[in-house]
Each structure stands twice: as structure tokens, then as C-alpha cells.
Chain A
């Protein structure tokens, strides 16, 4: 039997205490245990970015972390971006420029972009490309995704 460990973490602004199996990844626990299925499972080797969440302000691949490693940390998944049923500026920008096509990569794109805009509200296109370089879009909607991030940055500056 794998060990079960009690952890406490802030998930999307809420302090939570729960048990995780030692051999479960953060991605497993978010989706199957906490029901936060906005975070997507895809390559599970850290190449596609679909599972990106923000841990202590930094985007990370939840498929490459053990769930127990978030003990004591702040985690934001895509479900944590909207407040009181209102989309964040960034989410709205994605909709405004029709960035989502099939939509599968979008939660990850949003989380990388969210963490990035916390640090840089005046980015160049190249900055955005670099920040989102770890998020692949199979529909190749990169132009619109970049545009959305630039738009959200502009809205954030105003």
C-alpha cells in the first residue's frame, strides 16, 4: 500500500486539508480527487503544458509534481481565475480574440499567461512567446493566443 499523507494547501483561494497518496501527481489529485478537471492531462512528460497550474506564483507542470509537494503552498488552477462568476480580464481577452479553438490547451495557456502578467504588464511579443513557450496548441492558434495576452496586458496597464 502506498502511503497516504495529510496535506494542507490553499487551492484557488481556499484553505483545504486533505489526504493524498504518495504516488499520485498533483494533476491526478486536482482532477480525480478535487474534481478540478479544468487542468488537462496530455503528454504527462512536461512538454505540452496542458497541465500547467500556478504554484506560489510560478507556473509549473502539475504532471511532474507529486501532490504531496504542494503541502503548505498556494495553488491556482484555471478554476481560480474567475471571481464571483466573472471572467478575469485575461480570460475575457482570450474570448474577445477567439483564441480558443478546440480549447484543450487553453487552461494551461491561461495559467502560464496569468503568472506571466503578474510580473510583466508591458511585454513584447517575444516576451509572450517565451513565457508561453511551454504550452503547445495543436490547433496552432498561437497568433490569437499571443494577441489575447497582449490585449490583457494592455487592459491591465489601464
Chain B
């Protein structure tokens, strides 16, 4: 690993000052499960590493206030998975966070880091898109709040500018009953990158949202307002036509070793149907229908 100087600020202001002073030759460290690998490989050669884990404003890492849960930049996958409220209200996020890497990785990797890393295969991107997460970004000119759909840009790229830090992620309770589920496809269970990631939500008005990743430069969110996907009595053919449209932008890489484009496209439909079915079941449970 190339040499760098290590900084461990205790306040957000100090961290932002360090970033401002270091220009683009700085990396921000939270869990480090992607960054340390990139630095060892030489893909990343920062002059300065700013460790966020002593910043007092980031604790507690996970906090509920009213109808909103805020996860700071230090909230790990394990903390996300262990939170009762997340499991109850955002089950697809818990399902996605619990399959990231391994126990060791989840004890270290952060939820926000998963998004900031910008991997098209990020497990938590589809549920966070489907739940309309807000990313809170702090910078030299103050704080801005960015919808996650705007925040995610492309492979390794986000809306973060030089000098900015993604400080928190906010999720608001759904305004109406919402069933949701997460599905992924990997070559093996356990430590593996996903070949397809997909989250479906269905609300009581019959609107289905499908967010999916690992089949293009970024995860996408699409909505079916026709009610067809949410209709248990709709024919498979009718649903297939809707899925066709939803997945129109899927452009799986031909270079990936994990799965061929054809296989990924085929599996998108399978996972889509599966996730919608489970989301519907959860919606019915919420509504007390057996």
C-alpha cells in the first residue's frame, strides 16, 4: 500500500476542512472494506485518508425520530440488520444488508459506503431506491439533501463533489401500507457479488415499484402504475409484458465473468416475479388479510 497520512477528526467541521485542504488526493474511510482493497491494489493512491469513525456527530449511528430513521456514515450493515424498526418497516433493506459479504464484512462495511462506492451490484441500492432514501451531503457550503436516484450516477460515481462527505441516509416510513421484498442471484451463497439484485414494493393502491441492479451501469427504479403486477389474478402473459417494459434498460455487461447477459435478463424476470409475489404477501399481512 502506498504511503499516506492518516487523519482522524472528531468533528464534521474538522473533517470538511481536511477535505478542503487535500483537494482530490483524499479518501474518506468508514468501513474500509472497499477502500483498503483499492489502496492495496493501487487503484486508489490518496495522499491523505480521513477516517470518519471518531466524528462525534455520527453517533448514535442509527436513530429513529418520528417517522424517520437516520443512519449516519458510520452505521454498519450489521447495525442495519439488527435494528427492529428496519426489519419491521423496511424488510427488503434488512434482506439486502444481511447478504452482503460475510459476518466479518457486515461488522465493518457501512450502508452509506455501499452506496458511495458506486458499485452497480451494490445489494442495498435497489431497496434504498425503492424506499426513496435521501442522502444527506455535507460540504464547504453547508448541507444538501439528495434523492438517492440522483445520488447514484454510474460505476464508481455518485453526485458527491470534491470536498463533500455523505454524512447520513434517511428513510421515511411509507405514507401508506407497503409490502416489499428483496431478491438477489449469486453463483454461491455467502461471499459473492450479485449477478442480479432486485427489490419490489407494492402499495395498497396497486402501484408496484421495481428497483434492480447489476445489469447495467447503475441500479434503476421503475414503476408500474397499471396495477397489473399487483393483481394476483392477472395472467402471467400480462405480467410478462409489464416486466418487459420495466427491464427495457437492462444492459448487462458482456465482459462480466459472473453471468452472461442473456442469463441475467432471464433471471431478472424470475426474480421480479418472485419479489412481487413476496411483497404482495407482506402487504396482505399488513392489511390483515390471511
Residues of A within 8 A of B (CB): 1-3, 5, 21-25, 44-47, 49, 52, 58-61, 63-66, 68-69, 112, 116, 130-131, 133-136
Besides A46-B105, A61-B104, A112-B104, 20 other A-B contacts (C-beta < 8 A) = A5-B6, A22-B5, A23-B39, A25-B36, A46-B33, A46-B101, A49-B102, A59-B103, A61-B108, A64-B37, A66-B32, A66-B36, A66-B49, A66-B51, A112-B103, A133-B102, A133-B190, A133-B191, A134-B101, A134-B191
Least CB distance from B42 to A in Å reads: 12
Collect the chain A residues with CB atoms within 8 Å of residue B51's CB. Answer: 66, 68-69
Collect the chain B residues with CB atoms within 8 Å of residue A24's CB. Answer: 1
B88 within 8 A of A: no
Collect the chain A residues with CB atoms within 8 Å of residue B17's CB. Answer: none
Cβ contact within 8 Å between A64 and B32: yes
Cβ contact within 8 Å between B108 and A65: yes
Q: How far is the CA of A63 from the CA of B53 in the complex (A)?
A: 18
B3 nearest CB neighbor, chain A only: A2
Taking a contact as CB atoms closer than 8 A, the residue among A25, A45, A134, A136 that contacts B1 in the complex is A25
Cβ contact within 8 Å between B3 and A64: no
- How many residues of chain B are within 8 Å of chain A by beta carbon? 28
Least CB distance from B81 to A in Å reads: 12
Taking a contact as CB atoms closer than 8 A, the residue among A60, A69, A133, A136 that contacts B107 in the complex is A60
B189 within 8 A of A: yes
Cβ contact within 8 Å between B32 and A134: no
B8-36 CB mask vs A (1 if < 8 Å, else 0) is 10000000000000000000010011001
- Chain B stretch 86-102: residues in CB contact (< 8 A) with chain A: 101-102
Using known A-B contacts A46-B101, A65-B32, A134-B191, determine if residue A58 contacts B6 with beta carbons closer than 8 Å.
no
Using known A-B contacts A22-B5, A133-B190, A133-B191, determine if residue A65 contacts B101 with beta carbons closer than 8 Å.
no
Cβ contact within 8 Å between A45 and B103: no
B4 within 8 A of A: yes
Q: How far is the CA of A68 from the CA of B29 in the complex (A)?
A: 12
Cβ contact within 8 Å between A58 and B107: yes
Cβ contact within 8 Å between A59 and B32: no
Q: How far is the CA of A144 from the CA of B17 in the complex (A)?
A: 53
Taking a contact as CB atoms closer than 8 A, the residue among B6, B104, B191 that contacts A60 in the complex is B104
Q: How far is the CA of A21 from the CA of B5 in the complex (A)?
A: 9
Cβ contact within 8 Å between B1 and A23: yes
Query: Can you report 18 A-B residue pairs in the complex whose CB atoms are below 8 A from each other?
Result: A1-B3, A2-B3, A3-B4, A3-B5, A23-B4, A23-B39, A46-B37, A46-B101, A59-B103, A61-B105, A61-B108, A65-B108, A66-B29, A66-B32, A131-B103, A133-B102, A134-B105, A135-B102
